[in-house]
Structure formats: structure tokens, C-alpha cells
Chain A
Amino acid sequence: MNAGFMAQGLATMAFLLVAGMTLLGALIAVAARNIFHNVLGLALSLIGVAGIFIYLNSPFVALMEILIYVGAICIAICFAIMLSQPLYLKGPPRSILKSLGALLGAGSVLGFLLLLTKKTRWIPAAERSQDWSITIIGHYLLTNYALIFEVISLLLLVAMLGAIVTAREGRGSS
């Protein structure tokens, strides 16, 4: 058997695995009753998205995805779950009507975007640079996007302060 053909088959299989992981995780994250299973599904889905980023030639962003989303956001959500409603308390039952309405809304958006994607002809830029190194990202962050970079760091600072102020109520001084 041709070695190149086999490598392509393997790569396709791995891609299908990663894409399936993303969608399965998303379904668990949305459909499971237990809120803790939701977070685990989200983590699975995010790891799948990181794999997709690797297929899109950007291992750096994939690493950041795992670091920030799986490592930070999922853990923060776990803390919030443990600090709020106890898991043994059953929530109110789901109403069929609401799920049906949500399905209808999401389905119509899906259909619209599907049509849009099918009808559009995507034209690549005439001249495409082939430089995929991380150095270029650093250059962009410190030249063209320096202002956005600074604004985002300010946003993170403000968000951190806001989170502390919002959540600290009932800790003595107030």
C-alpha cells in the first residue's frame, strides 16, 4: 500500500475523531441534566476544538485554548458549581414546550447560516504569506494590534476587580 495514502487516511481518521469529540462534548454540555456533566462535556468539546486548531496549522493557539479554556475557565466554573446550589437538589423539570421552542430557534438559525455558507463563494486573498511562525504573532501583538492588546489587558484588570467586588459581599467590611 502507498505510504502517503495511508498517512492521509490516518490524518482523516484523526480529524474525524477530533470533530466527533467536539460535537459529542457540546451535546453533553447542553443536554445532560447534571450540571457537573455539563462542565465535563464542555472540557471535552474544548479539547476537540484545540485539535481542530492544530489541523488549522496553529499549535500555539491550540495550546492557549487548552491552557485558558480547559485549565482556567472550566476550573472556575467547577468552583462556582461547588459554591452554589448543592448537586443533590433536583431542579425543576424541563418543559417540553420550551425545549421545542429553543430547538426551533436554534434550527432556524442553523438553516439560515447553512444556506449562507452554501451559497457563498469563498475567494482566497490574491497574495498569501506562508510565514506561520509564532514570531509573527508576537510582532503583530506589539505593532499593529498594540492598542487592542493594551485595552484587553485593561479589560482583564477591570474584570478581575469587578469580580472581586461583586462576589465579596458578606465578608465582614461592608
Chain B
Amino acid sequence: MLMFNQLETYLYLALVLFAIGLYGVLSRRNLIAVLISVELMLNAASINFMAFNRFLAPHPAVGQVITLFIMAVAAAEAAIALSIIMAVYRKLKSINAEQATELRG
């Protein structure tokens, strides 16, 4: 059995990618770096959808459509997040997540 013709290969790959992204979200303090890690996690989800679509799904277009939706939502999310980061930087002169504590009581 060929390696790239097995569902499990892709699932494990997506898993590792997701874990790397999660580590980035938890450990980084730079807001832009957190955004980058979130993009990695979204991509891991996309790989999963595409793998299930290739090996299990009854119709091979559904997973592709959903992956396209994930991309569109990721683009919207990136635009909003980047503009918020710009606004935070203008206010606080920093994009460190630990210094954005204006709302703390």
C-alpha cells in the first residue's frame, strides 16, 4: 500500500500541524505570531476535510466546497485581526498580548 494513498497518513500530518499551531497560540506573545499560528490550525482542519473527502465521502465535491469556505472565513478573520492589531499598536505602542490589559478591572 502506498503511503500517500492512505487516509491515516494525512490525518497524522494534519494532527501534527494542528499541534504545532496550538503550541504557537499558547506560547507566543506577539499578536501577529498568534494570528500566524491560528492560520496553521485552520490549515490542519482543511487537510482533514480534504482527506475525508478523498477517501470516505460519498461525493468528492463537498469537502472541496467546505475547504473553500474555510479559506474565505480565514481571509475575513485575518483582515479583521490585522486591523485590530493595528488599532492596538496605535493605542499602546506595542503588539505584545500581555500589555493589552486595558480592560482589566
Residues of A within 8 A of B (CB): 8, 11-12, 15-16, 19, 22-23, 26-27, 29-30, 35, 38-39, 42, 45-46, 49, 52-53, 55-58, 60-61, 64-65, 68-69, 72-73, 76-77, 79-81, 83-85, 91-92, 94, 98-99, 101-103, 105-107, 109-110, 113-114, 117, 122-132, 136-137, 139-141, 145, 148, 152, 155-156, 158-160, 162-164, 166-167, 169-170
Contacts and interface: CB of A to CB of B under 8 A. Distances in A.
Nearest to B89: A84
Contact of B67 (A61, A72, A156, A167): A61
10 contacts: A15-B3, A30-B24, A39-B36, A58-B53, A73-B78, A83-B89, A92-B96, A102-B26, A136-B60, A169-B90
Nearest to A73: B78
A53 B50 CA distance: 7
Given A12-B4, A113-B15, A140-B62, A30 B30 contact: no
Contacts of B51: 56
Given A136-B61, A155-B72, A52 B13 contact: yes
A15 B68 CA distance: 23
Contacts of A60: 64
Given A76-B82, A101-B26, A170-B90, A26 B20 contact: yes
Contacts of B74: 68-69, 73
A26 B21 contact: yes
Interface string B70-102: 011111111110111111011000111000000
Contact of B15 (A38, A64, A117): A117
Contacts of B11: 117
B72 to A, nearest CB: 5
Contacts of B32: 35, 38, 77, 80-81, 84
User: Most chain-A CB neighbours within 10 Å: which of B24, B35, B58, B60?
Assistant: B60
B86 A167 contact: yes
Given A110-B16, A145-B65, A49 B86 contact: no
B85 A140 contact: no
